[in-house]
Structure 1
Amino acid sequence: MKFKILLALIFVNLMQAQKFSFPKTAVTDSLILEKQMPELAQQVINHLHSSQHKLKNNINFLDDFFRLQIAAKDYQKAINTLADYRNEYADHNMAGNKFLGYEVYSMAKLIEKERKIIFPDALQIAFNTKYESLPDQLTTRLGLILDGDVNNYKKTFRKALDKQKDKDNIDYVSALALCKSYINYKIYSGIKPQVMKLLALKDKAQYIIETKDLTLKNGSTLTITIVRKKANTSPLPVILTSNIYAGPFDEYFGKRAASYNYVGAVVNTHGKRNSNDVNNPFEHESQDLYEVIDWVYKQPWSNGKVGMIGGSYLGFSQWAAVKKLHPALKTIVPQVAVGIGIDYPAQNNIFMSYMLQWIRYVTNNKLTDDADFSNATKWDSINTAWYKSGRSFRALDSISGKPNKIFQRWLDHPGYDEYWQKMVPYKEDFSKINIPILTTTGYYDDDQIGALYYFKQHHQYNKNADHYLVIGPYNHGGAQSYGFTYVNETPIDPVARISIDDLAFSWFDYILKNGKKPELLKDKINFQVMNTNTWKHVSDLDKMHNSALKFYLKDRKDNSSVFNQPHQQNFTKQIVDLKDRDKKDTYYIISKKDSIKTTNSIYFESEVLDKDLIISGNLSGFFNLSINKKDFDTDTALYQIQPDGKSFLLSNHMVRVSYAKDNAVRQLLEPGKSVQIPIKNSIVISKKIEKGSKLLLLVGVNKNPRWQINYGTGKDVSDETLQDAGEPLEIKWYNDSYVEIPVYKD
């Protein structure tokens, strides 16, 4: 990491050394500005062409470069660059559409010049031409893509321009930022009003879109949006989504279903849009959705069959709906489903700071507070202020300046108790769920633990569960319809570049329209093995691997393998001062290319692997340890150190030790007494590890501003403060502890 930062700083410094001409009068005179911006953009382009850096095949480079070309008024080259981006880096479903506004603008400028017509007329021609070239499934996204935040773009541009006051030149980094912010503002302020009207006309011609308010038996009101294709005049199955993120996504989700020839129905949760009820996220879906489904299936445009789809919170909503299963609900497709009380707002019983940011996002108004949620600087500052203060985790909302009842209520339930259990199926409830289900998640999905929790519980309590899983190299967005081809700046295998939307609606065709079963679903578990360009198909999760390696906590001073059981028990001592808020980060230096942060961790490395190894599944095993306190939160990570000197995070695991054996009942440790802590609910991955790699295992203590800090007193962790830290935490990690690594052998 240090080397990455150093190289980046060197590159930035070299670029900043380059100065470009930009008169200070451009800051205050709009006519001069409009003349100077294309010239500045061209200077930056010329500099990039003449420099020796190797960024031209980088996704970020192309993302910058087409904007510079537009700013330089080289519209055809900008369109060509966008085509390169689409071919090499664009995600599958979007097909480059996230830049459609820039492409339509460039097309319009070319048409304006060639046909010698006014820009609004050229823009209409360009928009209609592009729209007609796209399939229905992609045009449904245009409302989200073209709805650029003009006010925010204006502020960003003004801020970048103001930095140039009283200066007659500008450095590379500032010039690039100015050009990008200029073109973002210029394009969206110039096209948004007109293209949104044009899109509305297209939607009106193709869809019937209705918004209604439903009154439930308890008097609550929910807003529902119904979308149907005008061409579909007969009753159809209804695809329902329960959406807390009220706003543009309501019409989008509805149009998406309609584009696949279903009726799309999107209901907003309590307190959203036209509802005046109290907004308590997660608490009402289980009760509300039975009535919503009952209303939906009785409508004249419904054929009596209902399916559900959605990701994250919208995935949770489907599990809430099947707690009391309505006969008309024939299938659900939960994607990256939040495991309420399992992986959010606490992961393995450790509450996350992010929960407050999210609560504000969905409760600050009747829609969503995007400005507050997206203000990363603000939230980083709040979390850091809390961390530095040493105040209790309960004080986080007060530190943010706005106490929050929901935040406090969630903290009152640190174990997986009845409060969480009543929101979704619990234990025997799963045995009554006899409808077909398709779950999707990813190796990089923030809610993978939740998605797999439901899958495992369903199969555990219902031996005949008709429940399929698709898991691959996808992140939280990628596994709920966006299917990116690059994740963490790493390309995924071509075979994994599937349309999650197409998969989901093929499933609906299979269940609701007697269609063909999706080809990918060859067995109950369908997983992509990274770095092999293959999918594998097995009947249960345990069959994702057929062997295992036990990685022991050995220091290898005697060159013995970490994969061999130690001959005699020993331990490695770790000391973490929970009071220290200024500790400098430490790193494991891999090579000049990379390093891994090891602050609050100790590490163990394997020998170099002499053959390829497929790691497939999730980490298990146990830690044999003793501490001088009653509790702490573990933080475990397994890395591959690749032959090229770069690291790759394979899996991680964190847990509140006192809840490791039972997430509902806290079992405090006895200071000084050794105890075995099971490793459960770690992140699943499937990847071929190349010969010549090493494995690096980090074990340690979770202590950072993104999570609660467990001071180990045994009190409610949310109430502990820095004054509870006492003496430093001492952990003895015994060498007969092991992390069991799942291995697949052909």
Structure 2
Amino acid sequence: MVAPDLHAAVRPQRRLFWMFPLVLLLLLPLAGIAAEGASLRWSLPADAPPATRDAALAALAGELLDPPSDSSLTDVQRSQLLLVAGRPAQATAAIERLQQSFRDAGDPARAQRWVPYLLYAQARADTGDTLEVAYARAFRAQFARLDDLAALQTHYWFVTNLAGAQAELRDALAAQAGKSSITRDGALEVLRQAAFVQTYASTTNLAPSLIEEDEGRRFEIDDDVRIPAGDGVVLSAHMVRQRGVRAPQPAAMMFTIYTNPQKNRSQAALAAARGYVGVVVDARGKRDGTGQVAPYETEGEDANAAIDWISRQPWNDGQVVMYGGSYSGFAAWAAAKHAHPALKAIAPYVAAIPGLGLPMENNVFLSANYAWPFYVANTRLLDNDTYNQRSRWDALTENWYRSGRPYRQIDAVDGTPNPWLQRWLAHPDYDAYWQAMVPYGDDYARITIPVLSVTGYYDDGQISALEYFKQHTRRVPGADHRLLIGPYDHFGSQASVKAMELRGYAVDPVAQFDTQGITFEWFDHVLRGAPLPALLSDRVNYQLMGANRWEHAPSLDAAAGAYRAFHLTSARDGDRYRLSEQVPHQRDAISQTVDFADRSTQRHSYYPYPIMRDGAPTDGGLAFVSDAFPAPVDVVGSFSGDLKIRINKRDVDLTVTLYELMQDGRVMQLSYFVGRASYARDMTHRQLLTPGRWTTLPLQRTRMTGRQLAAGSRLLVIVDVLKDAQHQVNHGTGRDVSDESVADAGVPLKIDWHPDSLLRIPLREATP
């Protein structure tokens, strides 16, 4: 998954919970590129045939490599250039040196990423046989040296989006068409892309059968497992065991709607390589199963049936654990609701709560997941053709917004019915329909097994993951439930290797860890008495951004340390208002006017893209700033508050965004809230506002952050009315928002913010 696309109005569109096994586009970054320097000779017609193109690229690589060669080339760059220049023996030696440097630096995963390049270079250097024979020989020799887990982790790097890489290279070359020279930086970038495309053009054809052979040598694999569920439904599944193991083992189960047989088989094999029976179960109606696909509605019962079936197999020792991200994390919680005695632990990552985090958040329906039902429910596998129509989905929200039509008619704007969206829109309350899908209320009291929850400060679904943690530890005070959270987005929270730059924020080096690796270390602790991973040493485990360290606490309140109240005052601070810890003397309200009939404009975007900005957002909203902190302070936890407002309508959707404003003017987004005023007190029951009357709304279900603010930094809070193309537009009539149209806009909304409004922000003195 790439970063969110940008709309015409430069508003990032969220891609919330579009979670599927990642298709790797392994474009290894260039490190340490020097100044641009002199240009290099270059000539390639736009319509050049592949042979001419490759010759031109080889000559370009040679110009950088040959005397007088560029001494500033990194080892990564030199390896790529040698491949493109057609010097495979030298490339082999360079890549082997590069891999050893990564291993010496304690980064074996990065060495694994280069194996596809190494095998391609070795095969090309072996001129005694065909490329196919030479490649197979190199592959078998390489993998004969690896244990099961290392082999599978290396297999991962052979999967890629070759077509996407080829298109990227074509675009880069097209941009150079007709030119007689190319800059050094431009040359290095084009050659990086060429090395990737040349390597994977062969790898994509030659590696799959060899990977399958290697897996078969190591594991017993059954892709045709059938599991009986309720109502006569049968679920299909993959089951993988290590060869030669005959004693019963615990089973590690993932339940998924993302039906990709190759990837799901590999996922089961990774569990087997760690000493478990790996089982990946397809959701109802997927792959070879029966029944109708029903996202979110039957996972609890079906996963519970799968646990029961697994526990009665001769290869299982009666113990089952569940793990997985996003949808699979939701499925683990859905199964835990049934408290099967064989289910011994769950490790959900960025787990969704349908109806709370998606497709609506705090009762506001979002459009970020609009295409998801087509992707998972159109076919027995995955409807990539429909899902990948990016321009269609990006244009749809803007087209709907400009049309002014009711949100319930957004599929009519698209031209294709979306029955699942319509089904969800029929439940604007967090009612029994949603509550039945996951644990709710007293259901949590029956969940006494250990739980490991993994999420990120910038995970779109953090609101759900945090709600699971809060509800479980509240209902079971002694619950062995560990939260692991840091500066990750939805995909990074689940990844074996974290991105070290996230939306403009340079992540602290200590934040790096392998999510699945620590999951199985923790499973070994729970089931086999292995040591508890140090990263999970307490109930709340968080990476303190800016301090480059992990911290651990027994509870969210203990991690926060203290909550300080800040008032939204009407006192001015330049072009902003004062965010004060003192009760304001000035009691004037602050007023905003929002015209919902005007679809040419949108309001302040709360979404954290980018995370780090050169200056404060200028796209609307009321901005409040605190005094500068004379010494570093830590912000750890979720803000809350009470917003006292008065409006001339019956309802309104609100956003509150929290930033660090640094001395140099840069801002870093820390947390945000989006929600509907009429549900602020109770998500299950709508309570409309009285026009012209002051009302105080409790602010809760916000996102957790963990950041050390530097001395001189200030808090910046922006409050606003929600009005954009990515959400329903609440016109304030009091009717179902999905049925309101621009014709219901009426007079502009007037909203007054009372200075009694306050935010409680978790602030403590910075720990050394």
Structure 1 residue 500 corresponds to structure 2 residue 515: yes
Distance between the aligned counterparts of 1:646 and 1:50, measured in 2? 36
Match of 2:535, as an amino acid? L
Structure 1 residue 124 corresponds to structure 2 residue 136: yes
**What is the CA-CA distance between 1:642 and the residue it aligns to?**
2.5
Distance between the aligned counterparts of 1:418 and 1:478, measured in 2? 32
What's the counterpart of residue 550 of structure 2? 535
Question: Of the candidates 731, 737, 748, which is equivalent to residue 717 of structure 1?
Answer: 737
Asked if the contact 2:629–2:712 (Cα under 8 Å) also holds between the matched residues in 1, the reply is yes
Structure 1 residue 703 corresponds to structure 2 residue 723: yes
What's the counterpart of residue 397 of structure 1? 411
Question: Of the candidates 533, 538, 563, which is equivalent to residue 581 of structure 2?
Answer: 563
Asked if the contact 1:20–1:169 (Cα under 8 Å) also holds between the matched residues in 2, the reply is yes
Distance between the aligned counterparts of 2:552 and 2:101, measured in 1? 32
What's the counterpart of residue 24 of structure 2? none
Distance between the aligned counterparts of 1:80 and 1:564, measured in 2? 63
Match of 2:342, as an amino acid? A
The structure-2 alpha-carbon separation of the partners of 1:586 and 1:418, relative to structure 1 and needing over 3 Å to count, comes to closer
What's the counterpart of residue 597 of structure 1? 617
Structure 1 residue 271 corresponds to structure 2 residue 285: yes
The structure-2 alpha-carbon separation of the partners of 1:431 and 1:50, relative to structure 1 and needing over 3 Å to count, comes to same
**What is the CA-CA distance between 1:311 and the residue it aligns to?**
1.0
What's the counterpart of residue 140 of structure 1? 152
What's the counterpart of residue 219 of structure 2? 207
Alignment of 1:310-459 (within 5 A): 310-459=324-473
Alignment length (residue pairs): 718
More displaced stretch, 473-482 vs 202-211: 473-482
- SS of the residue 1:355 aligns to: coil
Question: Of the candidates 631, 636, 640, which is equivalent to residue 651 of structure 2?
Answer: 631
Asked if the contact 2:228–2:306 (Cα under 8 Å) also holds between the matched residues in 1, the reply is no
Distance between the aligned counterparts of 2:122 and 2:570, measured in 1? 62
Structure 1 residue 733 corresponds to structure 2 residue 753: yes
Match of 1:95, as an amino acid? R
Match of 1:581, as an amino acid? R
The structure-2 alpha-carbon separation of the partners of 1:184 and 1:522, relative to structure 1 and needing over 3 Å to count, comes to closer
- SS of the residue 1:727 aligns to: coil
Distance between the aligned counterparts of 1:725 and 1:397, measured in 2? 21
Asked if the contact 1:473–1:496 (Cα under 8 Å) also holds between the matched residues in 2, the reply is yes
- SS of the residue 1:377 aligns to: helix
Alignment of 1:252-271 (within 5 A): 252-271=266-285
More displaced stretch, 167-176 vs 331-340: 167-176
- SS of the residue 2:54 aligns to: helix
Distance between the aligned counterparts of 2:82 and 2:361, measured in 1? 45
The structure-2 alpha-carbon separation of the partners of 1:597 and 1:533, relative to structure 1 and needing over 3 Å to count, comes to closer
The structure-2 alpha-carbon separation of the partners of 1:36 and 1:684, relative to structure 1 and needing over 3 Å to count, comes to same
**What is the CA-CA distance between 1:347 and the residue it aligns to?**
1.2
The structure-2 alpha-carbon separation of the partners of 1:67 and 1:597, relative to structure 1 and needing over 3 Å to count, comes to farther
Alignment of 1:534-683 (within 5 A): 534-554=549-569, 556-557=571-572, 562-583=580-601, 594-683=614-703
What's the counterpart of residue 238 of structure 2? 225
What's the counterpart of residue 21 of structure 1? 42
Match of 2:42, as an amino acid? S
Asked if the contact 1:27–1:162 (Cα under 8 Å) also holds between the matched residues in 2, the reply is no
- SS of the residue 1:296 aligns to: helix
Distance between the aligned counterparts of 1:221 and 1:330, measured in 2? 24
**What is the CA-CA distance between 1:137 and the residue it aligns to?**
3.1
Distance between the aligned counterparts of 2:402 and 2:573, measured in 1? 41
What's the counterpart of residue 11 of structure 1? none
Match of 1:704, as an amino acid? D
Match of 2:706, as an amino acid? S
Name the TM-score, length of structure 1 as normaliser: 0.87
The structure-2 alpha-carbon separation of the partners of 1:543 and 1:348, relative to structure 1 and needing over 3 Å to count, comes to same
Distance between the aligned counterparts of 2:108 and 2:427, measured in 1? 39
More displaced stretch, 506-515 vs 317-326: 506-515
Note the alpha carbon deviations across 1:633-681, whole angstroms, 9 max, x for none.
1111111123344221111111111111111111111112111111111
Alignment of 1:156-305 (within 5 A): 167=178, 169=180, 182-211=194-223, 212-247=225-260, 248-305=262-319
Distance between the aligned counterparts of 1:425 and 1:537, measured in 2? 27
Distance between the aligned counterparts of 1:105 and 1:471, measured in 2? 38
Asked if the contact 1:22–1:40 (Cα under 8 Å) also holds between the matched residues in 2, the reply is no
The structure-2 alpha-carbon separation of the partners of 1:691 and 1:329, relative to structure 1 and needing over 3 Å to count, comes to same
Distance between the aligned counterparts of 1:584 and 1:219, measured in 2? 50
More displaced stretch, 713-722 vs 237-246: 713-722
Unaligned runs of 5+ in 1: 6-13
Unaligned runs of 5+ in 2: 1-5, 11-34
Distance between the aligned counterparts of 1:460 and 1:125, measured in 2? 58
What's the counterpart of residue 8 of structure 1? none
What's the counterpart of residue 526 of structure 2? 511
More displaced stretch, 569-578 vs 619-628: 569-578
Asked if the contact 2:568–2:579 (Cα under 8 Å) also holds between the matched residues in 1, the reply is no
Distance between the aligned counterparts of 1:733 and 1:44, measured in 2? 63
Match of 2:695, as an amino acid? V
Match of 1:205, as an amino acid? R
What's the counterpart of residue 10 of structure 1? none
Asked if the contact 2:326–2:350 (Cα under 8 Å) also holds between the matched residues in 1, the reply is yes
Distance between the aligned counterparts of 1:245 and 1:506, measured in 2? 25
The structure-2 alpha-carbon separation of the partners of 1:415 and 1:210, relative to structure 1 and needing over 3 Å to count, comes to same
**What is the CA-CA distance between 1:723 and the residue it aligns to?**
1.4
Distance between the aligned counterparts of 1:130 and 1:377, measured in 2? 42
Distance between the aligned counterparts of 2:603 and 2:342, measured in 1? 56
The structure-2 alpha-carbon separation of the partners of 1:42 and 1:738, relative to structure 1 and needing over 3 Å to count, comes to farther
Alignment of 1:28-47 (within 5 A): 28-40=48-60
Asked if the contact 1:93–1:499 (Cα under 8 Å) also holds between the matched residues in 2, the reply is no
Match of 1:21, as an amino acid? W
Asked if the contact 2:311–2:318 (Cα under 8 Å) also holds between the matched residues in 1, the reply is yes
- SS of the residue 2:747 aligns to: coil
Alignment of 1:72-87 (within 5 A): 72-73=85-86, 75=91, 79=95
The structure-2 alpha-carbon separation of the partners of 1:357 and 1:43, relative to structure 1 and needing over 3 Å to count, comes to farther
Match of 2:475, as an amino acid? Y
Q: Calculate percent identity across the aligned residue pairs.
A: 33
Asked if the contact 1:93–1:481 (Cα under 8 Å) also holds between the matched residues in 2, the reply is no
Distance between the aligned counterparts of 2:629 and 2:275, measured in 1? 52
Distance between the aligned counterparts of 1:171 and 1:587, measured in 2? 39
Asked if the contact 1:94–1:138 (Cα under 8 Å) also holds between the matched residues in 2, the reply is no
Distance between the aligned counterparts of 2:526 and 2:601, measured in 1? 56
Structure 1 residue 742 corresponds to structure 2 residue 762: yes
Asked if the contact 1:474–1:483 (Cα under 8 Å) also holds between the matched residues in 2, the reply is no
Distance between the aligned counterparts of 1:261 and 1:305, measured in 2? 13
Asked if the contact 2:569–2:586 (Cα under 8 Å) also holds between the matched residues in 1, the reply is no
Distance between the aligned counterparts of 1:409 and 1:152, measured in 2? 35
Match of 1:23, as an amino acid? L
Distance between the aligned counterparts of 1:668 and 1:86, measured in 2? 60
Asked if the contact 1:480–1:500 (Cα under 8 Å) also holds between the matched residues in 2, the reply is yes
Pairwise CA RMSD: 3.5
- SS of the residue 1:553 aligns to: strand
- SS of the residue 1:441 aligns to: strand
What's the counterpart of residue 689 of structure 1? 709
